[in-house]
Every structure is written in structure tokens, then in C-alpha cells.
Structure 1
């Protein structure tokens, strides 16, 4: 005859609750021992009853202190990773603020968002733009001069080639 499935909820009757606690605690300790023996795992199990009584189990190959030390070391690694995540989050936040600032500056330079700027701010922006225009004009003139020089070379090259061809053909005749 099979057992019926029970609903997992708090047992209201204190006697039944204590009996269930004792039986399930024994089963849990037995399973912990089997797992430790079969797999050579380090297991530490701590149980406090409703009345505050302590029950514990540790693997035969180690003490509860060793298991707790291992747990604390593993948690410190976890906390170190958490600190790394917090540092990354902080760095991302800084980069977002910098990006927002640069986008606002770009909008101001292009004249899209001039709200909130004082006359002094607008004068500085105007000076920056005039300086930038000067640099752009200088670069444009450099490129135009380079293109003009390249065109002159191309034009002079065929003319000198034609002149040499004519001279060479006169020598043959």
C-alpha cells in the first residue's frame, strides 16, 4: 500500500508537529550522511528546533569548524565578486554621466539646446566655434592646395611626355 501525498504546510497540532520534526530530522541526517559517504562531499548541517535545541551533522572526513571556514572563504570570494560588480556599476554610472554631459555639449555646439546658458556661456561657446571654424578653414585650404598641386602635376606630366615624343619622332625622321 503506497503512501498518500501530503500537503506541505505548517502542522497546527503541536504533538504531530514534534513527531514530524523528529522523524524528518532523522531522515535528513541519514541522507546527509549517505551523501557524504557516497560522494566524499563535505557536508555541514545545522538544525534548530522550534524550541531552540541545536542538532548538527558534519561529514566524517572533516569537522564543523573546517566546513564553516570553507563556507566563509567561499562567501568572501562571493563578496569580492560583489565588490567588483559594484565597482563596474560605479564606473558605468560615471561613463553615463560623462556621455550625457558630452551629448549636451554637442547639442549646444550645434545650436540645438541653448536653454539654460548665460550670456557668458554663450560668449565662450561663440569663441570655441570661431576657433573651430578657423581650424576647419585652415585644413580645407591645405587640402585644396594639395589637390591643386596634384592637378598641376597631372597636367604637366602629359605635356612633357608629348614634348619628348615630338622630339624623339624628329630624331627618327
Structure 2
């Protein structure tokens, strides 16, 4: 019983498709090698799998670059490839000239190479430098103002934090005074102590009288003086 024909179409099952690729790839490389050895043919084979992996074969004694060059010559593609090289050369030359011009302008701005400039060129260069300096100063002033504003905000924030800490300390002291047994706030106690120092006569009705001299002792002293 012979083998059935396999329909040439994409295999939907992923595993079967991978197995088929591995088997057919091996057979293709084997046939290419047999053909190159038996007939002395120059063969270059390039295969990319569905995942992007590269498989290649070139005839013994040959390289893939040599085979590709022969293919380009045989298909008359070398002419188009030469045009591509010319375009690339033109682009490289253009970029090189532009780079040289920019380097020369940079040297002129820094004052290193001014020999080829006329008076008008020097005036334009001076105006350009003054304009650039003005932009630099404007940017510098913006940064300085921003730093001053940030510093002012920092000082205000630190002052606010200090005031809050001081307020917390005062509240803590007042709580400690209350916990020690005082019923009234410490400030009220000080006010009461100050009010006691200003009490009038109605609070203290007893007043000290000046000491009067003893009249009898004064008369006795007078008689003694007369007797003597």
C-alpha cells in the first residue's frame, strides 16, 4: 500500500508545522550538499524559520558573499547597487561639508578663527553674540528669581514650623501646671497675685499711727534741769 499524497498547503497545527519544517529543512540541506559535491555546483541556500532563525548552506570552498556577488552580476543588479553607492557617497559628502561649516562657525563664535571675515561679517557676528548674551542673562535672571522665591518659601515654612512648635511647648507647660493641682490657668494665677498688691484701705482698715512723745517724761526732765 503506497503512501497518500499530502496536500501542499499551510499546516494549521503548530507542533506538526514545526516538525515538518525540521524534517524538510534537513532534507533540503542534504540535497543541496549532494548536488554541490556531485556536480561541483556553486550553491548558496538561505532559510529563515517562522520564528526568524537563520539557516544557510554554501558550497564547499565558497562563501555566501561570493555567491551573492555572482548572483547580482548575473541578474544585472550590480548597476543599481552602484547607483546606491553613489547616492550614499553624495549624502556623506554633503554631511561632511555641513559639519565643516558648523565647526568653522563654532570657531568664529569662540574667536579662534577670524582671519577670513570682513568688517560686515564681524559686525554680524558681534550682533549675534550680543543677542546670545542677552538671552543668557535673561535665563540667568529667571533662575536667580526662582531660587530667591524658593528660599523665601523655605524661610516662611521654617518660621511657621517654629511658631507651631513654640505653641505646642506652651500648651505642654500649661497642661503640666494643671496636672500639678492648680485649678486655674497659670496666667490667671499671676493676674490674681498682681491684684493683691493693689488692695486699698478698705481691705486693710488698720493703719499704723505715728508714735507720740510722753508728756510726763518731758516735764520730769524739765524739773530735773531746774534743780541742777
Number of the residue aligned with 2:39:
38
Number of the residue aligned with 1:164:
164
Q: Which whole-Å CA distance do the structure 2 matches of 1:147 and 1:109 have between them?
A: 31
- What RMSD in Å do the two structures reach over aligned CA positions? 2.5
TM-score of the aligned structures, taking structure 2 as reference length? 0.44
Flag the structure with more relative contact order, 1 or 2, with Cα contacts below 8 A and sequence separation at least 6: 1
What number of residue pairs does the alignment pair up?
112
Number of the residue aligned with 1:89:
89
Q: Which whole-Å CA distance do the structure 1 matches of 2:158 and 2:167 have between them?
A: 14
Counterparts of residues 119-138 of structure 1 (less than 5 Å): 119-138=119-138
Q: Which whole-Å CA distance do the structure 2 matches of 1:130 and 1:171 have between them?
A: 61
Counterparts of residues 136-155 of structure 1 (less than 5 Å): 136-155=136-155
- String of CA shifts for 1:123-150, please: whole Å, max 9, x gaps: 1001000000000000011111111111
TM-score of the aligned structures, taking structure 1 as reference length? 0.57
Distance 1:71 1:121, change over 3 A: closer
Unmatched runs of 5 consecutive residues or more in structure 2: 1-34, 44-70, 175-228
**Deviation above 3 Å: which 4+ runs of structure 1?**
39-42, 70-73
Q: Per-residue deviation at 1:73?
A: 5.8
**1:74 partnered with 2:70:** no
- Asked which structure has the greater CA Rg, the reply is 2
Unmatched runs of 5 consecutive residues or more in structure 1: 1-33, 43-69
